[in-house]
């Protein structure tokens, strides 16, 4: 089944109020492309303001606590994110996995689903695992342990982000990305049966305007999770354009 590509920006710990102009430019620019769903996962401090500035454009969080509320200093529950205007959240990003295990990632995904958030679950292998030829084994193990019990009523997405490719300028070859995306597609289909077809698989790690077209042409890659190149419209919109072109080439604009 061919569906819209999904291009999500992850601003990480970047952005203050002045950068809402970029959010506005990205939302306005993205609206020009058909066949692509675009979203931005912003610092929590900007979610509410962005939701006001670009009503209807999907803004999300980069993490969520697995409990709805309580004595968790510095954390945010899913209902709080919804209240701020978020419609999605990332869970299990490798920059957070240093402090959390897959069982916690799964609990976060389920808490987010229960609150009505779309969820992007991240998995990826370390450089050591990559060099040892253990990429597929590692990402499938992480995906199996981190994915929620059910696809759920909201949109579930799985993002393959090799730890060594994040912010490094290096990416796996299209062939390697294809092997992993194919393995994750099989895993999702097996785990969720017919509902698995609705789960999109993204690639993340040093995606930019120059390599996006090649990455979007890889079988089973349904989009990208973009870090550094999502901070400015001038860098991010060419990635959105490449996704729209890939969908057009596949002849199935939704």
User: Which of the residues are catalytic?
Assistant: 93, 161
* Among positions 82, 226, 237, 244, the unique one binding ligand 13P when judged by CB under 6 A: 226
Cα 177 to Cα 81: distance, rounded to the nearest angstrom:
32
Between 162 and 192, CB nearer to ligand 13P:
162
Interface of this chain with ligand 13P, residues 144 to 173, rule: CB under 6 A: 161, 166-167
Question: What single-letter DSSP state applies at residue 1?
Answer: -
Long-range contacts (CB closer than 8 Å, 24 or more residues apart) made by 71-79: 76/44, 77/111, 77/115, 78/111, 78/112, 78/114, 78/115, 78/117, 79/115
Q: How many residues bind ligand 13P (CB under 6 A)?
A: 14
206 touches ligand 13P by CB under 6 A: yes
CB of 10 to ligand 13P, least distance (A): 4
Q: How far is it, in rounded angstroms, from Cα 117 to Cα 1? A: 24
**Is 228 an interacting residue with respect to ligand 13P (CB under 6 A)?**
yes
* Smaller CB separation from ligand 13P, 150 or 168: 168
Which residue in 6, 12, 7, 5 sits closest to 227, CA to CA? 12
Stretch of 49-57, 72-80, 131-139, 220-228 lying at the interface with ligand 13P (CB under 6 A): 220-228
Q: Are 181 and 203 in contact (CB under 8 A)?
A: yes
Chain residues that interact with ligand 13P, rule: CB under 6 A: 10, 93, 161, 166-167, 204-207, 225-229
């Amino acid at each position: 089944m061919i569906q819209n590509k999904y291009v999500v920006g992850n601003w990480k710990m970047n952005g203050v109020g002045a950068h809402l102009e970029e959010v506005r430019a990205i939302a306005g620019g993205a609206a020009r492309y058909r066949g692509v769903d675009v979203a931005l996962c912003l610092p929590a401090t900007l979610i509410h303001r962005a939701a006001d500035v670009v009503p209807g454009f999907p803004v999300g969080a980069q993490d969520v606590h697995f409990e709805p509320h309580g004595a968790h200093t510095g954390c945010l529950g899913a209902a709080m994110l919804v209240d701020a205007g978020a419609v999605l959240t990332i869970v299990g990003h490798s920059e957070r996995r240093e402090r959390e295990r897959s069982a916690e990632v799964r609990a976060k995904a389920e808490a987010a689903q229960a609150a009505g958030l779309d969820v992007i679950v991240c998995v990826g292998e370390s450089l050591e695992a990559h060099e040892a030829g253990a990429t597929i084994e590692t990402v499938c193990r992480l995906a199996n342990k981190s994915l929620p019990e059910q696809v759920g009523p909201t949109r579930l997405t799985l993002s393959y982000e090799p730890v060594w490719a994040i912010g490094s300028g290096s990416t796996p070859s299209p062939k390697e990305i294809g092997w992993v995306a194919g393995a994750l597609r099989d895993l999702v289909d097996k785990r969720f049966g017919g509902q698995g077809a609705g789960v999109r698989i993204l690639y993340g790690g040093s995606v930019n305007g120059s390599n996006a077209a090649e990455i979007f042409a890889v079988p089973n890659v349904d989009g990208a999770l973009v870090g550094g190149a999502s901070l400015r419209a001038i860098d991010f919109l060419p990635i959105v354009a490449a996704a729209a072109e890939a969908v057009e080439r596949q002849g199935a604009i939704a």
